[in-house]
Amino acid sequence: MLKYTLKRVFQLLPVLFLVASIVFLLMRLIPGDPAMLMLSGQGAVTPEMIQELHDKLGLDDPLHIQYLNFIGNALQGDFGSSNRLKAPVFRILIRQFPYTAELAAAGMLLSVVIGMPLGILSALKRGSWFDSVSMVVAMFGVSVPLFWFGLMLLLLFSFRLGWLPPTSSGLDLRSLVLPAVTLGFSQAGLIARLTRSSMLETLRQDYVVTARSKGLRERNVTLRHALRNALIPVVTVLGLQLGTMFAGAAVTETVFSRPGIGRVIVNAVVWKDYPLVQGAVLFSALAFLTVNFAVDIVYAWLDPRIHYT
């Protein structure tokens, strides 16, 4: 396991390098001058002011020099300082991460609590009205756009009924409900469909038929024999979906005016804040890769036949 762990760590490095390079180039392709955006709203802007800011930020350096400076600093764990917020990028990300982590965890928990039982019951009641209704709901969750669903929840539960706050300014459970439902509902539909498909395939396997022929209770057959093996592809998707949660958090945090890394990235792109965008995307990529690594470890627990070398 140690050998495999070290191997995976070394595999992360080229992926992070590729992500850093792509983000660096994409930010330079976005039209607009970061210096002009920073100086906007400060009265008359002169060419001298723009040039002074260019020199300060190194925007006039050749592109390859800017790239080498960025990669060299990133290798030392230094993402620079935000041009707009005037604070170290790492400090900003650490301050915002708990909000995004809370939202992603709540959304994931909700998607599992809804999606897995729905998928299991649909597989056990295949062809029934419950199966049909469940899959229609799951398809709706997969298809509906996050921003539209979030706005509909805001309209109903905040503005019409007044049950829940429309915005969030901190780690408040009441303000977490609507963003978590928005983020988790779409993932619940995918998990439900995948769990149903995996369970149907597992229930047809010989070892499940043998367990039933031995006279075991249906509950034991389902939970101890079928479900554990059916969970392996589901766990794979759960790991990927947690990374998707971080991406979806950008939309959800913007709709609900909630602090977090997703909203920081959106605002930083609008401001053309190069250091903040680059640092936030690298931070999110590292979190995503770490989750995938953890999923690989869970495989071995779910299926003892899986061994890593």
- CA dist., res. 260 & res. 92, Å (int): 10
Identify whether the C-beta of residue 293 lies closer than 8 Å to the C-beta of residue 6. Answer: no
Identify whether the C-beta of residue 178 lies closer than 8 Å to the C-beta of residue 261. Answer: no
Smallest Cα–Cα separation from 94: which of 307, 280, 232, 301?
Answer: 280
Tens digits of per-residue pLDDT, 8-36? 777 778 888 888 888 888 888 877 777 77
- CA dist., res. 86 & res. 83, Å (int): 6
Indicate the pLDDT class of residue 39, thresholds 50, 70 and 90. low
The kind and range of the H/E element at 151 are helix 146-153
Higher pLDDT, residue 223 or 25: 25
Mean pLDDT of 212-226: 72
- CA dist., res. 272 & res. 84, Å (int): 9
Identify whether the C-beta of residue 182 lies closer than 8 Å to the C-beta of residue 149. Answer: yes
- CA dist., res. 305 & res. 20, Å (int): 37
Statement: residue 44 has pLDDT above 80:
no
pLDDT the model gives residue 102: 85
Statement: residue 309 has pLDDT above 70:
no
Answer yes or no: CATH 3.40.640.10 is held by domain 97-302. no
This prediction has a pTM of 0.77
- CA dist., res. 221 & res. 219, Å (int): 5
Structure tokens belonging to residue 169: 């300014």
Smallest Cα–Cα separation from 109: which of 211, 185, 42, 1?
Answer: 185
Write down how long the chain is.
Answer: 309
Structure tokens belonging to residue 128: 């029934």
Structure tokens belonging to residue 141: 């969750």
DSSP 225: I
User: Cα separations (Å) of 195 from 33, 139, 146, 298?
Assistant: 48, 14, 22, 17
Q: Which of 70-79, 93-102, 131-140 has the lowest mean pLDDT?
A: 70-79
Give the residue range(s) of CATH 1.10.3720.10 domains in the chain.
97-302
